[in-house]
Each structure stands twice: as C-alpha cells, then as structure tokens.
Amino acid sequence: MRKLITTLSLLSLSTLAIAADAVAQTEKQATNWHAIIMFCIFVAMTMGITYWAASRTKSTSDFYTAGGGITGFQNGLAIAGDYMSAATLLGLTAMVYTQGYDGYIYMLCFFAGWPIILFLMAERLRNLGKFTFSDITAYRLDQGKVRTMAAISSLTVVCFYLIAQMVGAGQLIKLLFGLEYNTAIFVVGLLMMVYVTFGGMVATTWVQIIKAVMLLSGGTLVMFLAMSEFGFSFTNLLEKATAVHKLGDKLMYPGALLKDPVTAISLGLGLMFGTAGLPHILMRFFTVTDAKEARKSVLYASGFVAYFFNVIFLMGLCGILIVGQNPEFFEGGTIGGKLIGGGNMVAMHLAKAVGGNMLLGFLAAVAFATILAVVSGLALAGASAISHDIYARVIMKGQASEATEIRVSKIATICLGFVAIVLGILFEKMNIAFMVGLAFGVAAAANFPVLILSMYWKGLTTKGALWGGYSGLISAVCFVLFSKSVWVDVLGNKAALFPYTQPALFAMPIAFLMAYIMSKADASARAKQEIEAYEDQYVRAQTGYGAASASNH
Amino acid sequence: MSSAMYERMRANPKFQELVARRGRFAWTLAAVVLVMFYGFVMVVAFNPLSLGQPLSEGSKLTVGVTVELFMFIFFWVLTAVYVKRANTEFDALTQEIVKEAWKENQ
C-alpha cells in the first residue's frame, strides 16, 4: 500500500504516466478487431480532412494558426481535445476506482487553471501574439535573445511531453489493439507527421475537434449506461460503492496523495500555471479571429473539461461496483486481485461490461485518437518554435520568405516526428512520470513567469527576461532531476537531494525573483527603451488595435 | 503612425475607464477563484477529515464532494459571467476608443 501511495504521488502530475506505468508490465492482448476497424474509420476521416486542409494551407498564417479563422466554439472543442489526453480517460478513472475522492481532487487541480487563464491572459495573448507565445515575450525586447530562450524552453516542454505521450501510446496500443510496441510507435509518429506537414493547423484543429467529440460522447455513453444500473441515483451509487470498497467510508476522504502541505500547494501551483505555460495550448489562442472569440474558446473549453471530469468521477465510482465485483475482469477470476490488462483498464472494462465489445472497441479507438491529437498539437508547437522563432526571426532576422519558412517548419515537423519515434523506443522501459512532471514544471517555471511579466510588468527588460527564463528552466529541471523520482528511482542513488517531487513551488519564485532583480539592475539605454515601449504594447493588449488579424480566403 | 494612434487612445479618458473597470473585474474574479481553490487545497492538506463528513446526518453525500462539485460549477459560471460582460460592455467601449482615435486621425 505504501509503495502504491508513493508511486501514485510520484505520478501525481501525470495521469498519463499512471496509465503507462501500470500498463508497462502487462502482456500483449489479443488483436481487438472492433477497435482496429473503428480506429481505421477515424484515420480515414482525418486523412480526408488533411487532404482538404492541405489545399487551404498556403501561407505561414494558415500553417501555424489556420489563418486565424477558427470560431470560439470550434477552438473550445479543440482546446479540450488538446488538453484531455488518453490518460485523463484511463488514468483518472483508475484513480477514482482505487483512491476514490483523491481522484476528484486531482481533477479540480487540472481544471482550476482555466478560469485564471481567461481572466488574466486570454485577451492579451490574442491581442499581442501572432504565431507563438514568444511573439509576446519578445514584443518589445531583444528579438534574437528572447526568442531563442523561449524556443529552448518550449522545445524542452514539447520534447518531454512528447516522450511521455509516445511511450504511453505504445503501451496502451499494445494493450488495447494487440499491436507490437514498436509498430504502435511508428503508426503514431507517421500519422502525426502526415497530419501536421500536409494539413498544418487546419488539420490538427479538426483532428482535435473530432477526437474531443468522440471522447465526450463515448465517455457520456458509458457513464449513462453504468448509472442506469443504479437508477441514476448518486447517493445510491455512493452507498453501494463505500459498502464494497476496501477503503470503506474512507473512500470519500482525502487520502495520502496530498498529505504533505508543501506537495499539495506545489502541485496546485504546477498544474494551474503549468497549464498556462504549455506552448501547444497557448498556440491555440492565436487561431481565433479576435479577443472576443478567444474568451469564448476558454468558456467552451473549460465547460467541456469540467463536464468530462465529472463524468469520469462517476465512471470510476460505477467501476468499483460493475468492474470491481465481477470476477470476469480479474486475472484468475479472483475479485480484488489484479485487473486484467492492469489497473488502468477500469474504463475499458466498464465499457465492455455495460456495452459489450462494440463499446469497448469504440472507447479503445477514442484512446488512440486522443493520443494522435495531442501528439499532433505538440509537434506543431515544437515545429513553430523552430521555424518561426529560431529560423525566421533569429537566423534570418525576419527576412525569410513565407514559402521557405513553411518548408522549414515541415522539415522540423518530420524531424520532431522521428525524434519522437526514437525517444519513444529508447524510453520504452523507463518511468515516464518525471518527464510529464518536468514538462509541467518547466512550463510553470520557465514559460509562465516571463510570459505573464512581459504582459503585466512594465519594468521587464531583456536581461530580466533571459535570467528569469533560463533560471526557471534550469531550476525546474534540476529539482526534478534531484528529486526522488529520478535521483533515487532512475539513477539508483540512496537519498534524494531535493525532498519534494513537485518543483513548481520552488522554481517559480526563483524565476520571478531573477526576472525582477536583473530587470531592476539593468540600467542600459536599451532597457530604458524597452520600458518605454511598454506603453504602446499596453494599449494594444487592452484594445486589440494592431493585433494580427484573420486572413481572408 | 500606429504609435500616434496608441498615444491618442491612451489619452482618451474612456481608455482609462476601460482599463480600470475591466482590470478590477478580472482581478476580483481571479481572486475569488484563487482564494477558493487554494483555500480548498489548504483544507485538503491540513484538515482532510472535515471533507469526509456527511452533509447531513445519515446521508452518504459528503462535504468534500459537494464543495468540489460546487466549485466546478461556480468557476465555470464565473467564466461565463466574465465572457458575457467582456464581450458586450467592454468590447463596445474598446470599439468606441479605437473609433475616436481614428476620427482624430483624419
């Protein structure tokens, strides 16, 4: 039990990791034809869309932001599709199944960042940004240096997130479809390359929208069928679940996951502000026409996310009775033993129990589609950091033609695809928890502080931004490296150098402090100009006058 | 050129009004969310048992589940309230500011 708790708390940032980790030791399953057929339908549909999108992807603006013509509702669905990974479906259902109320607490942590993004960031992001969030941090600062810094931390986040998704994908697919791990990795990597290189943001957006609709409808259907067994009564369900669960009445108490206050607060900070610093999420704000639509996107996205988390909570609780009391789903038929396919298969077993093989196949296809959508969004964010920030702005100093910039971003996508495949294969056996932890930690400590300061604090200078960004990046990476999850569990040292698993509470203040001190200490003429340039930036951020507009076709 | 536009917009008293009103509104809502969310995290960290209490005698519904469900709904309602006001009142004011700056331009 103790081991389970420590494992779970290590995985706290990463529900995906929870999924992948438990799946890692499982056997390859028999080929699931229902799932494969439904997945093929999804691929055929998205390929059709990619073909259509390719004809509309001509300019850089089409490629990076779908021409800025996505509506708030579409973007809201796409953000929800980008944000909720397969892990949300599998990992969080499993967490509610084993830990009860703790799973619900995690879901609130994943959700609470969205209102904050809306109130403090959405409007300014749209008014100031064009293709990447570095457009905003570098708005009045030294383009070359600040963009390089932002691109490095973006790519760090994207790479760690990509590894986690790829490894998770390979293991899930092995389990759900009965395919070889390496085959699964190649399928994911190649499909992603096709979507992004040919269809750019238009195709990526539609893949994410379709996937979000599948995920929402599939989850709702399973929840509905499962709840019908309890007469749609939540108290009835709770009563029966607490009666049979081994935690008993403790099922509805906060458990050991967040016992330590420092971890609890650090986790809350990391998830809330990490979300606000993920490059592939931030990028979605530039795909809409104006600030009005950007606000609507968050309204819809947070509505879908909140709704789905509650569906998952119900699914997990229903699973306690429907899956947990049925010997059919346990190895050797012993109730309370090991679940067939590992602990994260609760959602899948539940689908089978209430809807047979068809529903199981559908949900498996949804899980695969989900991974593809998230990976495509990540690849596009990574490629834009390379082509738009590094190539077009730093190397070519803004003199690159649109055609070459698009070519560079397509090459970058293909390279990232191969990097993802290679890393996915290399890290197959590795605990991927720390990588997602690192991704959120770096996003919260390196991307978020500089981004929010550049929008809100007049006094930020190039020197401050660089020190803030790099110190946040390095300290977040070091804290994770020296924490128990890597220093002890991966590198095999005796004791952790850093006692906590969550870096945000410590790395974020370092980044803010360095940005503040170095900006204040910067008395150069350039710094003075940068501070003066804030005035115009401020008016643009508030009014949207001069903001990049949607291109007309 | 655009710098002159920005200069004129900034000089418009309506701009100051927009910034003050929208800023106050956004920060109030953000403060509500932050206080409630971190307040909840603190209760989880320091007094977890209180969250497992039944809502009323003999009920299976606990305080924790109810509070959390309330927060999911309430936070979302706050986003709806902000979007509604920002997309009507504040955006109308913004358009006026931009229009007036254009007029002076000619």
Taking the Cβ of residue B104 and every Cβ of chain A, the question of whether any pair is shorter than 8 Å is answered with: no
Q: How far is residue B102's CA from residue B106's CA, in Å, rounded to a whole number?
A: 7
> DSSP character for A460?
-
A526 Cβ contact list (under 8 Å, min separation 6): A142, A461, A462
**pLDDT tops 80 at residue A435:** no
Segment A482-501 shows an average pLDDT of 81
**pLDDT tops 90 at residue A321:** yes
- Residue whose tokens read 């007029």: B103
Q: Which chain A positions have a beta carbon within 8 Å of B10's beta carbon?
A: 535, 538-539
User: How many CA atoms does the CB half-sphere of A132 hold within 13 Å?
Assistant: 32
> What would the DSSP string read from start to end of A189-209?
HHHHHHHHHHHHHHHHHHHHH
A314 within some domain: yes
Taking the Cβ of residue B83 and every Cβ of chain A, the question of whether any pair is shorter than 8 Å is answered with: yes
Contact A509, A445 (CB under 8 A): no
How many angstroms away from the CA of A504 is the closest CA of chain B?
15
Per the DSSP assignment, residues forming a β-bridge with A288 are: A70
Alpha-carbon distance values, A58 to A47, A205, A411, A414, A524 (Å): 18, 16, 16, 18, 42
Supply the pLDDT for residue A32: 75
Supply the pLDDT for residue A4: 40
User: How many CA atoms does the CB half-sphere of A436 hold within 13 Å?
Assistant: 26
Contact A539 B91 (CB under 8 A): no
Nearest to A345 by CA among A100, A97, A107, A108: A97
> Which chain A residue has the Cα nearest residue B75?
A115
What pLDDT digit, counting tens, does each position of A173-205 carry? 777 777 888 888 998 899 989 989 988 899 999
Taking the Cβ of residue B90 and every Cβ of chain A, the question of whether any pair is shorter than 8 Å is answered with: no
Taking the Cβ of residue A326 and every Cβ of chain B, the question of whether any pair is shorter than 8 Å is answered with: no
Q: How far is residue A264's CA from residue A260's CA, in Å, rounded to a whole number?
A: 6
Who among B65, B94, B101 is closest to A544 (CB)? Answer: B94
Provide the token pair at A245. Answer: 């669960």
Give the range of the structural domain holding residue A186, as residue numbers without chain letter: 2-232+264-543
Q: Which of residues 282-301 of A touch B (CB under 8 A)?
A: 291-292, 295-296, 298-299
Q: Which of residues 513-552 of A touch B (CB under 8 A)?
A: 535-536, 538-540, 542-546
Specify burial of residue A167 (Cβ count, 10 A radius: 0-12, 13-18, 19+). Answer: buried
- Reduced to 3 states (helix: H, G, I; strand: E, B; else coil), residue A448 is helix
Taking the Cβ of residue B82 and every Cβ of chain A, the question of whether any pair is shorter than 8 Å is answered with: yes
Provide the token pair at A522. Answer: 């910067």
Provide the token pair at B58. Answer: 């003999």
For A442-456, give one letter per residue: b (16+ CB within 10 A) or e: bbbbbbbbbbbbbbe
What pLDDT digit, counting tens, does each position of B6-60 carry? 888 888 888 999 999 999 999 999 999 999 999 998 888 888 888 888 888 878 8
Q: How far is residue A460's CA from residue A471's CA, in Å, rounded to a whole number?
A: 15
Supply the pLDDT for residue A433: 55
Nearest to A156 by CA among A352, A365, A441: A441
Q: How far is residue A146's CA from residue A394's CA, in Å, rounded to a whole number?
A: 9
**pLDDT tops 60 at residue A24:** no
- Reduced to 3 states (helix: H, G, I; strand: E, B; else coil), residue A330 is strand
Contact A306 B6 (CB under 8 A): no
Q: What is the mean pLDDT of chain A?
A: 85
Give the range of the structural domain holding residue B64, as residue numbers without chain letter: 2-105
- Residue whose tokens read 């770096």: A442
- Most B CBs within 10 Å, among A73, A290, A543, A545, to test the B interface: A543
> DSSP character for A339?
B
How many angstroms away from the CA of A260 is the closest CA of chain B?
6
Three-state DSSP string of A504-532: HHHHHHHHHHHHHHHHHHCCCHHHHHHHH
Who among B15, B62, B68 is closest to A108 (CB)? Answer: B68
Using a pLDDT cut of 70, give the percent of chain A over it: 92
Supply the pLDDT for residue A18: 41
Contact B66, B9 (CB under 8 A): no
**pLDDT tops 60 at residue A17:** no
Taking the Cβ of residue B6 and every Cβ of chain A, the question of whether any pair is shorter than 8 Å is answered with: yes
- Reduced to 3 states (helix: H, G, I; strand: E, B; else coil), residue A288 is strand
Who among A120, A272, A545 is closest to B26 (CB)? Answer: A120
> Which chain B residue has the Cα nearest residue A116?
B30
Nearest to A267 by CA among B11, B100, B45, B48: B45
Q: How far is residue A88's CA from residue A433's CA, in Å, rounded to a whole number?
A: 14
Which has the higher per-residue pLDDT, A488 or A111? A111
Supply the pLDDT for residue A259: 65
Report angle CA B52, B58, B61 to the nearest 5 degrees. Answer: 45
> DSSP character for A550?
P
Q: Which chain A positions have a beta carbon within 8 Å of B65's beta carbon?
A: 101, 104, 252
Three-state DSSP string of A36-88: HHHHHHHHHHHHHHHHHHHHHCCCHHHHHHHHHCECHHHHHHHHHHHHCCHHH
- Would you say how long chain B is, in residues? 106
Supply the pLDDT for residue A414: 94
What pLDDT digit, counting tens, does each position of A212-229 carry? 999 999 999 999 999 999
CATH number of the domain within which A74 lies: 1.20.1730.10
Q: How far is residue A545's CA from residue B7's CA, in Å, rounded to a whole number?
A: 12
- Residue whose tokens read 């689908």: A351
Q: How far is residue B44's CA from residue B35's CA, in Å, rounded to a whole number?
A: 14
Q: Which of residues 30-59 of B touch A (CB under 8 A)?
A: 30, 33-34, 37-38, 40-42, 44-46, 48-49, 51-52, 59
Who among B29, B51, B91 is closest to A253 (CB)? Answer: B51
Q: Which chain B positions have a beta carbon within 8 Å of A536's beta carbon?
A: 2-3, 6
Amino acid making up residue A85 = S
Contact A253 B19 (CB under 8 A): no
Q: Which chain B positions have a beta carbon within 8 Å of A264's beta carbon?
A: 41-42, 44-45
Q: How far is residue A544's CA from residue A295's CA, in Å, rounded to a whole number?
A: 13
Who among B65, B75, B101 is closest to A112 (CB)? Answer: B75
Contact A276, A113 (CB under 8 A): yes
Contact A150, A393 (CB under 8 A): no
- Reduced to 3 states (helix: H, G, I; strand: E, B; else coil), residue B54 is strand
Taking the Cβ of residue A111 and every Cβ of chain B, the question of whether any pair is shorter than 8 Å is answered with: yes
- Reduced to 3 states (helix: H, G, I; strand: E, B; else coil), residue B62 is strand
Q: How far is residue A303's CA from residue A182's CA, in Å, rounded to a whole number?
A: 37
Supply the pLDDT for residue A27: 52
Phi, psi of A330 (to 5 degrees): -110, 145
Who among B30, B59, B61 is closest to A116 (CB)? Answer: B30
Supply the pLDDT for residue B100: 87
- Most A CBs within 10 Å, among B10, B37, B102, to test the A interface: B37
How many angstroms away from the CA of B3 is the closest CA of chain A?
7
**pLDDT tops 90 at residue A337:** no
Contact A261 B45 (CB under 8 A): yes
A237 within some domain: no
Which has the higher per-residue pLDDT, A430 or B5? B5
What pLDDT digit, counting tens, does each position of A243-302 carry? 898 888 888 888 766 667 888 788 888 888 998 999 999 999 999 988 999 999 999 999
**pLDDT tops 50 at residue B92:** yes
Supply the pLDDT for residue A3: 42
Supply the pLDDT for residue A364: 85
Segment A359-368 shows an average pLDDT of 87
Contact B72 A252 (CB under 8 A): no
Supply the pLDDT for residue B29: 96
Return left, alpha or beta for A332; rule: phi > 0 is left, psi -120 to 50 is alpha, else beta.
left
Provide the token pair at A511. Answer: 């980044």
Q: Which chain B positions have a beta carbon within 8 Å of A118's beta carbon?
A: 79, 82-83
Number of domains chain B contains: 1
Taking the Cβ of residue A101 and every Cβ of chain B, the question of whether any pair is shorter than 8 Å is answered with: yes
Number of domains chain A contains: 1
What pLDDT digit, counting tens, does each position of A121-136 carry? 999 999 998 888 888 9
Supply the pLDDT for residue A25: 45
Provide the token pair at A226. Answer: 């499962």
